[in-house]
């Protein structure tokens, strides 16, 4: 408390209020222009405008400081409850050409809340190479990076329109990249590729030269590659892929924290969904018990389904995503889409299927369709009034059914 500045903000605010007669400077970047004005090198009307801008900057500077002080104070007394009032200090990182569409003006801000200190993430990324980042680029990169850093093992995740279309977990990061692309090379083309380990020269060459599995000739094109680190040689090799390829180095986002989302006239606040398979108890409710391989596969599927738009279904086997269904108003359609994609990888036979929420129906619906496709293990949160139907259906087909008690809706 003793470190909270009182006099400084008071003098700054007083000077800002009196800006018609005083120049208040809180940013050293403004010194050169202020010195020019004091030396009489700036027209009087421009000086008046400068005074107003400097006053705005002073008030905003104090407001941001007060926001951080208020955040710290509430952390001491709030007991974990939502603060009755809240302001978030933000700083413009860059103006963007446009938002989701060309007719929407946009900008990107960095969050300077105390809760964000040391949390990492895409907003703290260094852009080493490529075209200017766009609004959609930031959204997609955030989705891809959040998904890949959820894995403890070396992993690659490829995202298109914020949905993972390819993912693989392998001891060899280069092999993980290849398998992630193969999952859905059509969707991966023009996507965002994320890694949770250092990109070295060998991996960079593979990214640069890898041909699309659809024709074996076309070099894969990507908008962005993001990773926690690059070797010096790896970065130089990757730059050779394209002048437009954006290469980002970002500190991995730490688990925990909270987020804000805007709705008309207000904001929704929630803690982040930081639960991973290591935090989940997979309870077997079927007659057939899971093998070690079943559990490895379902954990990969479960890790990915959290990052897919609801209704979300993922199918995985041997450490890689075979297919996913996303964003469908009914769950059975997401299952059908996921199985359709898995068919391009040899089918869902022996694979694991994860659902972000419970199955409302089973017979002739999601669960039975998955069983008939040869899925070996299914995991869902459970909690439906028809849960027993899912158990009976899996018992009929000899499929393992697991419940988690954890839902992963994503809207």
| Active-site residue flag, 243 | no
Per-residue model confidence (pLDDT) at position 33:
96
Confirm if 301 and 379 have CB atoms less than 8 A apart: yes
Q: Note the CATH number of domain 6-78.
A: 3.40.50.1380
CATH 3.40.140.20 residue ranges of the chain are 92-249, 275-403
Per-residue model confidence (pLDDT) at position 360:
93
| Superfamily of domain 275-403 in the CATH hierarchy | AICAR transformylase, duplication domain (3.40.140.20)
Handedness of CA 51, 57, 63, 65 (dihedral sign): negative
Per-residue model confidence (pLDDT) at position 36:
96
To the question of domain 92-249 being in CATH 3.40.1160.10, the answer is no
- Which of 17, 53, 254, 396 is the catalytic position? 17
d(CA 194, CA 162): 12
d(CA 362, CA 47): 72
User: pTM for this one?
Assistant: 0.94
Confirm if 176 and 151 have CB atoms less than 8 A apart: no
Beta strands in 228-319 (DSSP E): 246-249, 258-263, 266-271, 283-284, 313-317
Which tokens go with 308? 């897919």
Mean pLDDT by groups of 10 residues along the chain of 411 residues: 91 97 96 96 95 97 97 95 96 96 97 95 96 96 97 97 97 96 96 98 96 94 98 97 96 92 96 94 98 98 97 97 96 97 95 97 95 98 96 98 97 93
d(CA 9, CA 65): 9
| Active-site residue flag, 333 | no
Confirm if 63 and 43 have CB atoms less than 8 A apart: no
- Assign 3-class secondary structure to 25-61: CCCHHHHHHHHHHHCCCCCHHHHHHHHHHHHHHHHHH
Confirm if 225 and 158 have CB atoms less than 8 A apart: no
- Which of 128, 161, 239, 288 is the catalytic position? 161
d(CA 107, CA 235): 28
CATH 3.40.50.1380 residue ranges of the chain are 6-78
Which tokens go with 204? 């960079």
């Amino acid at each position: 408390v003793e470190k909270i500045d009182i006099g400084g903000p008071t003098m700054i605010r007083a000077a800002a209020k009196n800006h018609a007669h005083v120049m208040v400077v809180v940013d050293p970047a403004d010194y050169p222009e202020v010195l020019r004005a004091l030396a009489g090198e700036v027209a009087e009307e421009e000086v008046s405008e400068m005074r107003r801008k400097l006053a705005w900057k002073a008030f905003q500077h104090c407001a941001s400081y007060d926001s951080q002080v208020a955040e710290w104070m509430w952390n001491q007394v709030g007991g974990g409850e939502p603060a009755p009032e809240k302001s978030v200090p933000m700083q413009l990182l860059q103006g963007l050409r446009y938002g989701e569409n060309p007719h929407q003006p946009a900008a990107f801000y960095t969050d300077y809340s105390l809760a964000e200190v040391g949390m990492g993430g895409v907003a703290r990324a260094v852009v080493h190479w490529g075209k200017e980042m766009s609004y959609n680029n930031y959204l997609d990169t955030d989705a891809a990076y959040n998904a890949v850093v959820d894995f403890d093992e070396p992993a690659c995740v490829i995202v298109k329109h914020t949905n993972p279309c390819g993912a693989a977990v392998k001891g060899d990061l280069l092999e993980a990249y290849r398998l992630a692309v193969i999952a859905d090379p059509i969707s991966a083309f023009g996507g965002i590729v994320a890694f949770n380990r250092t990109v070295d020269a060998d991996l960079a060459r593979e990214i640069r030269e890898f041909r699309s599995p659809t024709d074996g000739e076309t070099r894969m094109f990507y908008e962005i590659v993001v990773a926690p680190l690059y070797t010096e040689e790896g970065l130089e090799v990757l730059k050779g892929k394209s002048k437009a390829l954006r290469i980002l180095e970002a500190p991995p986002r730490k688990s925990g924290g909270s987020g804000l989302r805007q709705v008309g006239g207000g904001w929704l606040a929630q803690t982040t969904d930081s639960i991973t398979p290591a935090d989940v108890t997979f309870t077997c409710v079927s007659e057939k018990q899971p093998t070690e391989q079943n559990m490895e596969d379902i954990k990969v599927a479960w890790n990915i389904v959290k990052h897919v738009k609801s209704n979300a279904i993922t199918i995985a086997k041997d450490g890689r995503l075979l297919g996913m269904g996303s964003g469908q108003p009914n769950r059975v359609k997401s299952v059908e889409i996921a199985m359709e994609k898995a068919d391009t990888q040899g089918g869902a036979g022996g694979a694991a299927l994860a659902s972000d929420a419970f199955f409302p129906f089973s017979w002739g619906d999601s669960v039975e369709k998955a069983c008939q496709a040869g899925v070996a293990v299914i995991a869902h949160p459970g909690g439906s009034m028809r849960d027993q139907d899912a158990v009976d259906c899996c018992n009929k087909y000899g499929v393992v059914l697991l419940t988690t008690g954890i839902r992963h809706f994503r809207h």
